[in-house]
Amino acid sequence: MTASQTASANRNVALYPWFKLFRSLMFTQAVWFLYFQTTLTPAQAIMLYAIGDLATTVLEVPSGYASDRIGRRFTLLLAGICSATGALLLGLADSFAVFVLAQVVLGAGGAFISGTDSAFLYESLSAAGREAETEAQELKAWRFSFTALALSAATGGAIALYSYSATFVLTAVCMAASFVISLQFRDQHGGAVRPQAGEVVRFGSLRTALKTPVLIWLFALSVLMYVFSHIPYVFGQPFIQDALNTVGLRQEAPWISGIVTTTMMIISVIASLFAKTLRDRIGLIAILLLAFGMQIALSGVLALTNAPIVIAILLLRMVPDAFSRPFIVARIQPELNDDARATYLSLQSLGGRILFATTLFLASASTEQTGDMAFADIQFILGSYVVVGIICLSALAIFARGLPINAKT
């Protein structure tokens, strides 16, 4: 490794948190469902989210494979282009067809960044001889991301009182800024690697990973936690609107949703400050199961009542992610080869998206076709998720026994 290559790797590491910050300036996050409901039915709004996830799903593994073969930088640049274009189209949409097109393009942007960003960071750290910093750097990136999410959620909620569309346009500008930062990145995993005959079918280096018990367990947990992390994201906004309606504050939903989301992100950043200490004290398995259990409990509380006080429970939504995501990524990375790293992470994300999209399509069939989403619909959907979640949590706890998940490699 030459001095210039080391300097390039260190530059990547230094720029990475800022890349994550601009990727996370999403002014739409607290109001997107409310925006969809101004033009579409609740069922169509749920379907739109599922369509976006489906688009990401279709490109998930191909984008990971392209990242491993063509390069991280190229794939991150594609992510920036698609994300900016999709957000802009959503802000200008005036029909269901345009909404669908925008969601597909935005979903493609999600697919291109999925797995590639974490793989890029790890390989940059490895090239600089700083692999031991993986957990610390993932946590740092997490804090940058969620600080940006907090700032943009509050701002977006306020802007939405005057214009929902403006929140999407501002988001598009920030996605374009992440593209500009990506231009400064340099690949560190040795460039493109030509696939051998039949490797697409056999997944090359993935064969070992897909047979490793620890990675299988982490794969299953990640898929389930993806689903339960996004449940409050999809149903939280109609829940807030319904809860506020019971006290005559329905029109205040956009800015209150923004404040809730902002506070949620701030609490997540605070939680991340204590996450590593907790992980070291109780072990990786315990903190991951705790995080998953918190996700299930949150959905359970929302299913019990639509009293406005319960909105406060949504403030804890991202704490489980702070207690799990950086540690899962850091535990997985050393187990994988460079030529399969993004593909594995994409497969993991693929599983979560397929499962969640499937459940959302089922949920859309059980909702009213006109007007705002009723609490009775929210209650039934969340209750169903909770029952399945408890079963899955129990199974994961049983299968974790005897696995060297806590070990660091």
Cβ–Cβ under 8 Å, residues 285 and 406? yes
Q: How far apart are CA 82 and CA 140, in angstroms?
A: 26
Q: Which of 190-194, 223-227, 237-241 has the lowest mean pLDDT?
A: 190-194
Which residues have a Cβ under 8 Å from the Cβ of 324 and sit 6 or more positions away?
A: 221, 225, 287, 288, 291, 292
- Please report the pLDDT score of residue 206 as a whole number: 61
Task: Give the model confidence (pLDDT) of 138-149 as tens digits.
Answer: 888 888 988 898
Give the span between the Cα atoms of 17 and 13, in whole angstroms.
Answer: 8
Calpha distance 103→87 (Å, rounded): 8
Q: What is the 3-state secondary structure (H, E, C) of the chain?
A: CCHHHHHHHHHHHHHHHHHHHHHCCCCCCCCHHHHHHHHCCHHHHHHHHHHHHHHHHHHHHHHHHHHHHCCHHHHHHHHHHHHHHHHHHHHHCCCHHHHHHHHHHHHHHHHHHCCHHHHHHHHHHHHCCCHHHHHHHHHHHHHHHHHHHHHHHHHHHHHHCCCHHHHHHHHHHHHHHHHHHHCCCCCCCCCCCCCCCCHHHHCCCHHHHCCCHHHHHHHHHHHHHHHHHHHHHHHHHHHHHHHHHCCCCHHHHHHHHHHHHHHHHHHHHHHHHHHHHHHHHHCHHHHHHHHHHHHHHHHHHHHHCCCHHHHHHHHHCCHHHHCCHHHHHHHHHHHCCCCCHHHHHHHHHHHHHHHHHHHHHHHHCCCCCCCCCCHHHHHHHHHHHHHHHHHHHHHHHHHHCCCCCCCCC
Q: Is the pLDDT of residue 28 over 50?
A: yes
Residue 258 sits at the vertex; the CA angle it makes with 252 and 264, to the nearest 5 degrees, is: 130
What is the C-alpha to C-alpha distance for residues 45 and 222, in angstroms, rounded to an integer?
A: 25
**Cα–Cα distance between 392 and 299 in angstroms, integer?**
15
pLDDT exceeds 80 at position 319 = yes
Q: Are 15 and 318 in contact (CB under 8 A)?
A: no
Nearest-CA neighbor of 294 among 318, 264, 273? 318
- 226: Cα within 13 Å, side-chain hemisphere: 23
Q: What is the mean pLDDT of residues 67-92?
A: 89
Higher pLDDT, 272 or 194: 272
Mean pLDDT for 247-264 is 78
pLDDT of residue 36: 82
CA separation for the pair 33, 35 (Å, rounded): 5
Tokens of 302: 């929302």
386 vs 32: CA distance, rounded Å: 24
pLDDT digits (tens, 9 = 90+) for 171-213: 999 999 999 999 999 887 654 444 443 444 335 556 666 677 8
The mean pLDDT of 47-69, rounded to a whole number, is 76
Answer yes or no: is pLDDT of 95 > 80: yes
Domains of the chain, start order: 8-184+205-400 (1.20.1250.20)
The share of the chain scoring above pLDDT 90, in percent, equals 24
| Residue 353 burial (CB count, 10 A) | 27
In whole angstroms, give the CA distance from residue 259 to residue 240: 11
CA distance between the termini of the chain:
23
The residue assigned the tokens 């807030």 is 240
Place of tokens 């064969």: 207
Q: Given its phi and psi angles, is residue 300 left (phi above 0), alpha (psi -120 to 50 degrees) or beta? A: alpha
Q: Determine the pLDDT at residue 407.
A: 61
**Predicted local confidence at residue 197, as pLDDT:** 38
User: Taking all residues of the chain, what is their mean pLDDT, rounded to a whole number?
Assistant: 82
Question: Residue 85 pLDDT more than 90?
Answer: yes
Predicted local confidence at residue 1, as pLDDT: 59
